[in-house]
Chain A
Amino acid sequence: MEDELINIKTTALSFIWEAEDKKSLEETKLQFLGRSGKLTLAMKELPKLPIERRTEVGRLANEIKITIENALEQKQLDLTSEKTSKIKQSIDVTAPGIEPKIGHMHPISQVLHETIEIFKSLGFQVADGPEIETDHYNFEVLNIPKDHPSRDTQQTLFLDTTDTLYSPGEMLLRTQTSNMQGRIMEKTKPPFRVLVPGKVFRYEEVDASHGFEFWQVEGFMVDKNLSMSNLFATLDYFFKQFFGRDTKVKFVCHNFPFVEPGAEAYISCVVCKGKARLPDGQGCSFCKRTGWVEILGAGMIHPNVLRAVGINPDIWSGFAFGTGLSRMATLKFGMDDLRLLTNPDLRILEQF
């Protein structure tokens, strides 16, 4: 009996030793430890032994079983790591990775959603409104009556009103997202903080920095005791979040009919980092060697606008700002031509 057991052990261990893969190892396991395996069968014979020998042979059988199990387990591990290292040897790890085929978000969308996120963190709610607009909301309510010289800077595209409820000249394509100031303010009770992104249209010749269609974002806030200090801080916060913490922001006086006082914001040039010179010593052409780029118009909402929408300017004050999302995108990504934004060439789109 003992001889038979030792024989089983030797054979099993040599089989395990020689096993080349998991399958043959599994077979070996069945052959010896399976339900009708050699060791299992031998162990079934134990009760037939005389009582005085049963304990001793039983202990031996158990030891052999443990030895075989351990050997199987060890071989199992060896086979696994051998396989891994074999696979590793067959892979050229220096070959480039295969990237998943995912698409690309348009730069305007990236800028749009990022801008929304930043202003949301300041408590702004986002709105959307019509691009086909009336003279009233696009101009009149914003303190820009007909024959106001500032209309020159916003040449307007008018829609053919045939088969519509409107008379000629009444339907136009909004020239600015500021059209939403009147629409929202006349219906929403202050205080409020609003952000309105969207497309605008101008009658304008197309070149690298002008288009007849582009994207803007408008923001306005009405509350008690709002100040220029609040306006400047809000924009300063936004630009630092958007363009990076090192961005410098400065304001100059400017005139827009729907704000008073009015301002324009400049940020330190994104290309030369405000140094006006490039690392090679050349002057920076992006900012015309000034170190600054103009980016946004803003101001305290004109009391005429507040009155026109039924808000008492003696109780409430507000600020408003507007900028080109298109311009923000070109600045953020260092693009030198607005027309790149409407170009569907994937060689451009895949860069973002």
Chain B
Amino acid sequence: MLAPLSLIKDYVKITLSEANLAERLTEVGLGVENIKKKEGGSILDLEVTPNRPDWLSIVGVAREIASLENEKLKLPKVKELKKPTKILPLKIKTDYAINPRFTGIIITGVKVGESPDWLKKRLDQIGMRSINNIVDITNFVMYELGNPLHAFDYDKIEGHEMTVGQSLEGELFESVDGISYHLPKGAVVIRDSRKIIDLCGIKGGKNSGTYNDTKTVFIRVPVELPNLIRSTSTKLGLRSDASSIFEKAVDAGVTIFTLKRCVDLILEIAGGEIASDLYDLKAKEFLPWSVKVNLEKIKRYLGFTILDKDVIDILQRLNLQPVIKGGVLETKIPTYRNDLKIDEDIIEEVARLYGYNKIERKLPSGEIPVSRIDYFKDYSLQLKAKEILIAAGFSEIKSYSLVSEVDLDKFGLVGKNVLRVDNPVSREFEYLRPGLKIGLIKGLMENKKFRNDISLFELGKVYRKIDRKAVEEYFLSGISSNLSFAQIKGVLQKLFREFGIKKDPSSMIEIIDNGLFFEINFSEIEEKANTQKIYKSIPKYPPVIEDLSIKVSERVKTEDIIETIKNQNSIIYSVTLIDEFEDSKTFHIIYQDKEKNLTKEEVAVIHEKIVKSLKEKFGATQN
């Protein structure tokens, strides 16, 4: 919403400086995103939240400033409607269930033409194109007061009848700007005796608009239902200034005032005379409503004891007519404040005008709840896994969960279990990744341009369709161009050991074109993890350490040799491979007896047993 300061000043006196005004407006919820300097003065670029359609008008903005400045709002003066000297026929039928209020009037003898300079200039300031004086006036009045209105060419309303109803699926409608739409079922429309002439609350019809040959106009100021307008405008992908007000609820109480303002301007600028009685078809009177709030609740919500007189002062500035009766505050909500319905809404009014930053900040004082919440997750496990990989030289990446079909195909991940987005932002981001490989390989290739030592990992969710349900799991994957199989296996062994899990990682490592890749279902790890560490006393007696070198066929698996050595005696505390070259391997063996000092002789016996069993099993000879 663009609001020229020069224009706002016609409606309210401003004493604050531009910068202070911008800050105060932002603080009370009308965000000033920018102040544009243009010839003719500064223009406020405002962020209007959906709850405050009244701020989509200059009077609405001026009203907010008036409450900040404690000034009076100066509404435009309107004249009483003159009794018509002649009455043109027009039959209106409406349905209050879809059109709660329909206010209108006929003006005849207008001279359609260019708008006067002052009007053109104002429209230009707010980024609107001048069309002709009648259209410009309706646009300006909407912008000024916040109620959208539309001018029909009376002579094009066939049969001089208007019926508000709902469209059938696929009915054709051509908007005033010449675009044709197939209407969805249920759009609110006005029909004359033959055709649809208006897509209510969104766009007028081309067949009944105001052009240079128009002599008589019918001005309609309606109240439309937000959900109906929004649903049609979403389905058509068609938004207008009017629809963005109606979908958030318009001020239902001022249709006649708006009409009078429009009539005044038309008579002044385009001439003519009123040629009908005032139409005002409505389901009920639209009057201010009452909202009550307990004063004690205001204080409890704010977290400090605000004085009653301050509450009253604030609410008076906002025209909410506050009255206190026995601890309860009663307000009367003006019809332009459709957002005020419950006591919390009133509390916000008090708080925002009081100033959020004047509220003293006190941390919650209650006891800290200790019972476990639902969906609890211990993120320290993820942190631990990341730290292990980082210590091993891997850097963490974060890649998109959404991937393309081309990539899935390239990495052999296409399958029935892959989830697809119906309305992707582009084909590049159409599928949810079933694994982390794509991002990591891309990361590797990206870095290959600059270096050769690349080790990357990602810990993130993967998504799959399992048993007709969407399943999300955390995976931990890595890729390396420089680490060996044994190094990566070692990292994973270490990881599993830290998580108290017995698992052989060999099958999780895959040899790929430019290095090695691994993938672990981390959700499973998290589920089984046991990171508790319990102290075991260290041995009281010294160990005996020896290195055993053997020659053995390269086909014999190291793991089998280690197992065989360990199986020879329970005092063999650990066996590690420390060197290997072609068919010779050296193992580091630690003998440890918990009960006593080991003698050379005892060890020698076990040593012989080891050598013998390795020879028998694998044909190994000692070096």
Binding site for B on A (CB under 8 A): 101-106, 108-109, 112-113, 116, 122-123, 125-132, 147-150, 152, 157-160, 163-165, 168, 171, 173, 180, 183-184, 187-194, 196-197, 199, 201, 203-206, 212-213, 221, 223-230, 232-234, 236-237, 250-255, 260-263, 288, 300, 302-303, 317, 341-342, 344-347, 349-350
Bound state CA distance, A149 and B246, in angstroms?
10
On whether the beta carbons of B363 and A234 are closer than 8 Å, the reply is yes
On whether the beta carbons of B352 and A126 are closer than 8 Å, the reply is no
Bound state CA distance, A104 and B395, in angstroms?
4
Bound state CA distance, A232 and B424, in angstroms?
38
On whether the beta carbons of A149 and B248 are closer than 8 Å, the reply is yes
Q: Which residue of A lies closest to B24 (CB)?
A: A252
Q: Beyond the given A159-B432, A234-B363, A250-B357, could you list 14 further A-B residue pairs with CB under 8 A, ordered by the A residue number? A: A103-B393, A132-B463, A149-B226, A157-B423, A160-B421, A189-B371, A204-B425, A212-B429, A221-B364, A228-B302, A253-B29, A261-B344, A344-B397, A346-B395
Q: Mark B223-243, 1 if CB is under 8 A from A, else 0.
A: 000110011001000000000
On whether the beta carbons of B379 and A262 are closer than 8 Å, the reply is no
Question: Does B52 reach chain A (CB closer than 8 Å)?
Answer: yes
Bound state CA distance, A123 and B432, in angstroms?
35
On whether the beta carbons of B439 and A253 are closer than 8 Å, the reply is no
Within 406-426 of B, Cβ neighbours of A (below 8 Å) are at: 416, 419-425
On whether the beta carbons of A113 and B377 are closer than 8 Å, the reply is no
Bound state CA distance, A101 and B454, in angstroms?
11
Bound state CA distance, A197 and B394, in angstroms?
24
Q: Which residue of A lies closest to B34 (CB)?
A: A288
Given that A106-B398, A199-B401, A253-B351 are contacting pairs, would A159 and B393 also be in contact in the complex, using a CB cutoff of 8 Å?
no
Question: Does B283 reach chain A (CB closer than 8 Å)?
Answer: no
Q: Which residue of A lies closest to B444 (CB)?
A: A344
Least Cβ–Cβ distance between B134 and chain A, in angstroms: 29
Report B-chain residues with C-beta under 8 Å of the C-beta of A349: 395-397
Contacting residue for A229 out of B359, B398, B454, B460, CB 8 A? B359
Question: Does B334 reach chain A (CB closer than 8 Å)?
Answer: no
Segment among B83-91, B212-220, B468-476, B528-536 that sits at the interface with chain A: B468-476
What are 14 A-B contacts defined by CB distance under 8 Å?
A103-B395, A104-B396, A112-B379, A123-B369, A125-B373, A127-B374, A149-B248, A160-B421, A205-B425, A213-B402, A227-B304, A229-B361, A233-B364, A260-B345
On whether the beta carbons of A130 and B472 are closer than 8 Å, the reply is yes
Binding site for A on B (CB under 8 A): 26-29, 31, 34, 49-52, 226-227, 230-231, 234, 244, 247-248, 300-304, 339, 342, 344-345, 347-348, 351-352, 356-357, 359-364, 366-369, 371-379, 383, 386-387, 389-402, 416, 419-425, 429, 432, 439, 442-443, 446-447, 450-451, 453-457, 460-461, 463, 465, 468-470, 472
Given that A103-B455, A229-B304 are contacting pairs, would A163 and B465 also be in contact in the complex, using a CB cutoff of 8 Å?
yes
Q: Which residue of A lies closest to B442 (CB)?
A: A344
Report which residue of B399, B422, B450 has the largest number of chain A beta carbons within 10 angstroms of its beta carbon.
Answer: B422
Q: List the 3 closest pairs (A to B, CB-CB), nearest first.
A: A229-B303, A227-B303, A344-B443
Given that A103-B390, A106-B398, A251-B356 are contacting pairs, would A225 and B300 also be in contact in the complex, using a CB cutoff of 8 Å?
yes
Q: Which residue of A lies closest to B302 (CB)?
A: A228
Contacting residue for A232 out of B344, B359, B456, B461, CB 8 A? B359
On whether the beta carbons of B369 and A346 are closer than 8 Å, the reply is no
Given that A103-B393, A132-B419, A184-B374 are contacting pairs, would A147 and B344 also be in contact in the complex, using a CB cutoff of 8 Å?
no
Contacting residue for A103 out of B367, B377, B396, CB 8 A? B396
On whether the beta carbons of B27 and A252 are closer than 8 Å, the reply is yes
On whether the beta carbons of A253 and B348 are closer than 8 Å, the reply is yes
Report A-chain residues with C-beta under 8 Å of the C-beta of B396: 103-106, 109, 349
Report B-chain residues with C-beta under 8 Å of the C-beta of A103: 389-396, 455, 457
Least Cβ–Cβ distance between A125 and chain B, in angstroms: 5
Report B-chain residues with C-beta under 8 Å of the C-beta of A157: 421-425
Given that A131-B472, A344-B443 are contacting pairs, would A230 and B363 also be in contact in the complex, using a CB cutoff of 8 Å?
yes
Bound state CA distance, A229 and B80, in angstroms?
50
Bound state CA distance, A128 and B468, in angstroms?
22
Given that A101-B393, A123-B368 are contacting pairs, would A131 and B425 also be in contact in the complex, using a CB cutoff of 8 Å?
no
Contacting residue for B461 out of A116, A131, A158, A261, CB 8 A? A131
Given that A157-B421, A203-B425 are contacting pairs, would A127 and B377 also be in contact in the complex, using a CB cutoff of 8 Å?
yes
Bound state CA distance, A300 and B50, in angstroms?
18
On whether the beta carbons of B300 and A160 are closer than 8 Å, the reply is no
Report B-chain residues with C-beta under 8 Å of the C-beta of A236: 361
Contacting residue for B374 out of A165, A187, A228, CB 8 A? A187
Contacting residue for B51 out of A130, A255, A344, CB 8 A? A255
Report A-chain residues with C-beta under 8 Å of the C-beta of B359: 228-229, 232
Report which residue of A128, A168, A303 has the largest number of chain B beta carbons within 10 angstroms of its beta carbon.
Answer: A128
Least Cβ–Cβ distance between B435 and chain A, in angstroms: 16
On whether the beta carbons of B301 and A317 are closer than 8 Å, the reply is yes
Bound state CA distance, A331 and B262, in angstroms?
49
Bound state CA distance, A144 and B454, in angstroms?
46
On whether the beta carbons of A188 and B373 are closer than 8 Å, the reply is yes
Report A-chain residues with C-beta under 8 Å of the C-beta of B357: 250-251
Q: Which residue of B lies closest to A254 (CB)?
A: B29
